[in-house]
Structure 1
């Protein structure tokens, strides 16, 4: 049926009245707040978009992704009183006509992975209920060609991989004369936008921001972070230092610090993160030190108030961890320490007492000492984990024992051998003087 309809459309240039569900996958969408059709027209020949039939009466979602569309122009596909989601990702869209989106109930619009350089402000005139906008992986370079003034209900925006970082140094995202993002925004993703610095007070007017992704940029210092955040991703930035002053974020639940330039996790750096549930410190190639006091002193003695559930230190350069971390680490649901050059001595044998699933310790291996190179930590007997001082003590003990054995041997030798020589010497001592005396006497007794 699909092939016949497509051929008919190619051959004739007449208007065809056909249900879109004959060409696309239509599924019933059911939720407490909404009942309608979900229409999937992804990877479909664009010829179908000449069809002049209407969408299902109660369409909830329309997916037009991966269709090589080059522009968004007037079409029944973009006219619906009920549509909630429109997905136009993975096309070649470079232009969207003004006022073409007649979708008053639309809450989600995905325009990612296209060729957009400009969106006229009038494009959003009739989608004022929009809550989610994804324009990642396009060709935007400045917000003078991108404005969100009409989107008063927008609470999530994804700007990833557009070269807009330089323009943010002059224009604030929330400035009405600039990009005009609503102050109600809750979720912003700005990964890979070529951002070198976040100006002071950049987020000052955002009073309810919950999630911020600002990874894969060129930030060298941690900026003033909104204290309302629950999720923060600073990964893949050349940040060289972190401190407790950076993270005064009582509501934060997830913190990602992967692939930074840091060399240590210092004392008390995470003590103010009272609600933290997940912490990632992965692929930090310069990270060699993880302080026992990074979560504070109290949790080392009593971990009842330790909220962290997941911790990953994988793929860094940490060689040792203090044994006093056994108390808080023992409370974790997930702990990943794989891919570090561990020194397998008495200082890390305590790790084997932690309840780490097998899938999370296959690459938890020794780098040194040399005899244990690449051995799995959890497969080694405890007796193999010997410190250098213990080895020196053992060598000294062996040497002392050997010395004592030699002394004992010498003592036995004196006890068994010397008396025999003494006896022979005694016998010679009684004989020789008499002989000499007799000779001497005879010499003097000879008459002159």
Structure 2
């Protein structure tokens, strides 16, 4: 009898063993002020592919559970996925192909990361009990259509990452915010659809995204700037084959604070393109290998004299093909807290020396170097004395005057050489060439007079 009691006690102990007792797991309490919830954080990445099949349980009060990089292939019902306090669950970078229904018994879960797996379909009932879910990351999976993700019914979902799933072709005839029940809800505030093989963005594509403030639509095949939601605060259009941008593309975006235009195919930043972005604080135009012209009126004309309305704080033009910037930009650029001009083939002449008056950090000047003229190649701009920033004096009118004077002096010299008394024969030679000589005009007259006397 005593043996049976001890055996039952041992079994009960095994069943209630905490995951924190595992050598490959680490548990700690993160004390952060002003957080809504305090609890233990459990880190069990790189632990065991069968970890969900173990008998370990979570602490009574747990905040976050990290099961990433465990080579998990199937998510199933487990004591580790049954908690009334868990807020964050990380299952990224596994080999998950299947998520069974009723796997997640996590009524308080707000953040779920399933990125970097092998998922191509999620049953609608999988998320049934995740009524408070706000953040969902499904990047780097194998979805080919967002209709197989089935998260429309998640009424509190506001932050979605779908990067690097080949769902772009399926969006040609279907709106991502489809009201039929398969798309995103109109409560989405942040959406990332980078690298989904999207070619075009149809008109009114975001018409139902009433509250969207962040849109990352980089690394696609978009060639034209589309109708941008006016509610956006952060827009990333980088790594798309966009050839032209204009002020009309960014009108009425009064809330936009950050704009990323890296690695496009644009050749110039035209006049007034950023003039009507009153809230813009950060602008990046990096790695634009075709960009050769940045208009002095890109931010409008008013800021050139009075930067009071110039609210931009950070600007990066790193790694483009700019050779010069107009000195008129010295006033607005001088107001920036961060400016990066590195990695451009700058022409260090008298028209560029004004850049040395800008207050740049040491980190932003390390690769700010000259490309021309040849004697200054690869020299650090801020290490050069101003006397080296010179320009050749070339005036067209001056050059013409020099040519005329030289030609005149040449003609005078030739006349002096040929027509002085010691050079009379030469002067006569010129007269024979350019007009009748004295001998040729007098002799016929003398002959005529002699004939008249004989008669």
The interval holding the TM-score normalised by the smaller chain is: 0.7 to 0.9
Q: 1:284 aligns with which of 270, 288, 291?
A: 288
Q: What are the residue-to-residue correspondences of 1:46-445 with 2, within 5 Å?
A: 46-177=49-180, 179-248=182-251, 249-389=253-393
Shift of 1:48: 4.1
2:32 matches 1:28: no
User: Contact between 2:147 and 2:183, CA under 8 Å: does it hold in 1?
Assistant: no
Is the CA contact 1:109–1:130 (under 8 Å) kept in the aligned structure 2? yes
- When normalised by structure 2's length, the TM-score is 0.82
Whether the aligned pair in 1 keeps the contact of 2:233 and 2:258 (CA below 8 Å) is yes
Deviation by residue 1:387-423 (Cα, 9 ceiling, x = unmatched): 2336999999xx9xxx9xxxxxxxxxxxxxxxxxxxx
> What is the deviation of 1:338?
0.7
Deviations 1:8-27 (A, max 9, x none): xxxx9x96542210112111
- Take 1:115 and 1:45, find their aligned partners in 2: how far apart are those partners? 18
Q: Structure 2 CA distance, aligned partners of 1:393 and 1:384?
A: 26
- Work out whether residues 54 and 77 of structure 1, in 8 Å CA contact, stay in contact via their aligned partners in 2: yes
Looking at structure 2, the residues matched to 228 and 203 of structure 1 have their Cα atoms a distance apart, in angstroms, of: 10
8 Å CA contact 1:191, 1:214 repeated in 2: yes
Paired residues of 1:172 and 1:179 also in contact (CA < 8 A): no
Query: Would the alpha carbon gap of residues 364 and 392 (structure 1) be closer, same or farther in structure 2, given more than 3 Å must change?
Result: farther
Match of 2:239, SS state, is coil
Whether the 8 Å CA contact 1:316–1:339 is kept in 2: the answer is: yes
Alpha-carbon distance, 1:357 to partner: 1.4
What is the CA–CA distance in structure 1 between the aligned matches of 2:158 and 2:226, rounded to whole Å? 22
1:406 aligned residue: none
Secondary structure in 2 aligned to 1:38?
Answer: strand
| Compared CA separation, residues 48 and 123, structure 1 to 2 (3 A) | closer
2:75–2:98 contact (8 Å) kept in structure 1:
yes
Q: Structure 2: which 5+ residue stretches go unaligned? A: 1-10, 407-455
CA shift for structure 1 position 128 = 1.1
C-alpha displacement of 1:124:
0.8
- Aligned-partner Cα distance in 1 for 2:321–2:56: 62
> CA-to-partner distance for each residue in 1:81-135, whole Å, 9 max, x for gaps?
1110000001000000112111111000000000000001111100011000000
Match of 1:419 in 2: none
- Return 5+ residue gaps in structure 1 as ranges: 1-11, 404-448
Question: For residues 41-71 of structure 1, what are the alpha-carbon distances to aligned partners after superposition, in whole Å with 9 as ceiling and x for unaligned?
Answer: 1111234433324311111111000000001
> Equivalents in 2 of 1:390, 1:352: separation in Å?
25
Q: Against the structure 1 CA distance between its residues 47 and 143, is the aligned structure 2 distance closer, same or farther, given a 3 Å change threshold?
A: closer
